[in-house]
Amino acid sequence: MNQAMTNEATTTTTTLESRELTKTFYSTEPPTEVLRGIDLAVRPGEFLVVMGASGSGKSTLLYSISGMDRPTSGTVLLEGRELTSLSDSEMSEVRLTKMGFVFQQAHFLGNLDVRDNILLPALKGTDRSGRDAAIARVDALMERFGIAHIKDHGITQVSGGQLQRASICRALAGEPSVLFADEPTGALNSSMTGEVMDAFTGVHRDGTTVVMVTHDPGVAARGDRVIYLRDGQVVDEKAMGSWQEPEAQQREDELLAWLRELGF
Ligand SMILES: Nc1ncnc2c1ncn2[C@@H]1O[C@H](COP(=O)(O)OP(=O)(O)OP(=O)(O)O)[C@@H](O)[C@H]1O
């Protein structure tokens, strides 16, 4: 085998992949079959958006591919490494070192200021030099996402948009391979949604792979690609190309037309 063939065989072209992923909840009678064989391939640096009607399985998919919950069958690979066979402690380590999470509601500790809340997870298990590096990273992230000036504020003294940007900084402080977001703008008004989505666009442009669940076509229009779930299956997808601000309305309109065809 020549060198080119060897490289081809060992180089992974996806950051995150699922194969024939299923998830059934057996806690209900009858059991609830939520994911029914999902094949997904997320490219390095891609911004993938997951849409679908309420109850179609979006959050379950996000949890199953990020190791927050175990799928019933099928495999998930992160940078070529199979996650589905890992133990709980190995999976926790992968989540801590390779994944970042942003949810609809930001959970922060009320007795710490914004900066210490962002810093806390990044300090886990670090020595003195690791601590200095984490502090430098967090300060740079807060600067990058426009919240350096609120670093000493208490978490009740900042806006919802600032808090979500702080969540993004916290999620990025561990330098994840993938940033997962579940309805990150679901609790925000439209101007805060804009500022948070500008931050996600920045994250994506910095090269981080993003997988986001949203109901909001305006938010989804930021993505490179949108997949549509119905009854736990991916029934269609739309390639969007790179986000450009002047095309925002056109992208949203095109996405809406596609979504309407799908019955959204
Ligand atoms: N732990 C659970 N036990 C039983 N059923 C569950 C559980 N979690 C989710 N479900 C069911 O799985 C289905 C999909 O839920 P999921 O939250 O993934 O949908 P979704 O598309 O994210 O919905 P929404 O847009 O409303 O958040 C729903 O019918 C839900 O009731």
In a domain, 243, yes or no: yes
In a domain, 203, yes or no: yes
Please tell me the distance from the alpha carbon of residue 187 to that of residue 150, in angstroms, as a whole number: 21
Q: Using only C-alpha atoms, what is the Rg of the chain?
A: 19
In a domain, 115, yes or no: yes
Q: How far is the centre of ligand 1, averaged over its atoms, from the C-alpha of 99 (Å)?
A: 22
Q: Helix crossing, 128-144 with 114-123: angle to 10°? A: 140
Please tell me the distance from the alpha carbon of residue 232 to that of residue 216, in angstroms, as a whole number: 19
Condensed to tens digits (0 to 9), the pLDDT of residues 55-102 reads 999 999 999 999 999 999 999 999 999 999 999 999 999 999 999 999
Please tell me the distance from the alpha carbon of residue 108 to that of residue 130, in angstroms, as a whole number: 23
Q: Which among 50, 58, 182, 211 is the best mutation to test ligand 1's pocket, defined by most ligand atoms within 8 Å of the CB? A: 58
Atom of ligand 1 nearest to the CA of 63: 18
Contact 55 CB / ligand 1 (< 6 Å): yes
Q: How far is the centre of ligand 1, averaged over its atoms, from the C-alpha of 193 (Å)?
A: 24
Among residues 86, 68, 69, 88, the alpha carbon closest in space to that of 77 is found at 86
Whether 4 has a pLDDT exceeding 70, the answer reads: no
In a domain, 217, yes or no: yes
Q: Which two tokens stand for residue 185?
A: 């703008």
Q: Which two tokens stand for residue 238?
A: 């739309």
> Which pLDDT belongs to residue 10?
45
In a domain, 3, yes or no: no
Q: How far is the centre of ligand 1, averaged over its atoms, from the C-alpha of 144 (Å)?
A: 35
In a domain, 245, yes or no: yes
For the chain, what is the domain count?
1
Q: What is the CATH number of the domain that holds 100?
A: 3.40.50.300
Backbone angles phi, psi at 17, to 5 degrees: -145, 140
Q: Is the peptide bond before 217 cis (omega within 30 degrees of 0)?
A: no
pTM score, two decimals?
Answer: 0.93
Q: Residue 125 belongs to what domain range?
A: 13-261
In a domain, 1, yes or no: no
Listed in sequence order, the residues at least 6 apart from 150 whose beta carbon sits closer than 8 Å to its beta carbon are 114, 157, 158, 162, 166
Whether 125 has a pLDDT exceeding 70, the answer reads: yes
Q: How far is CA 93 from CA 66, 67, 86, 125, in A?
A: 12, 11, 10, 11
Atom of ligand 1 nearest to the CA of 213: 22
In a domain, 242, yes or no: yes
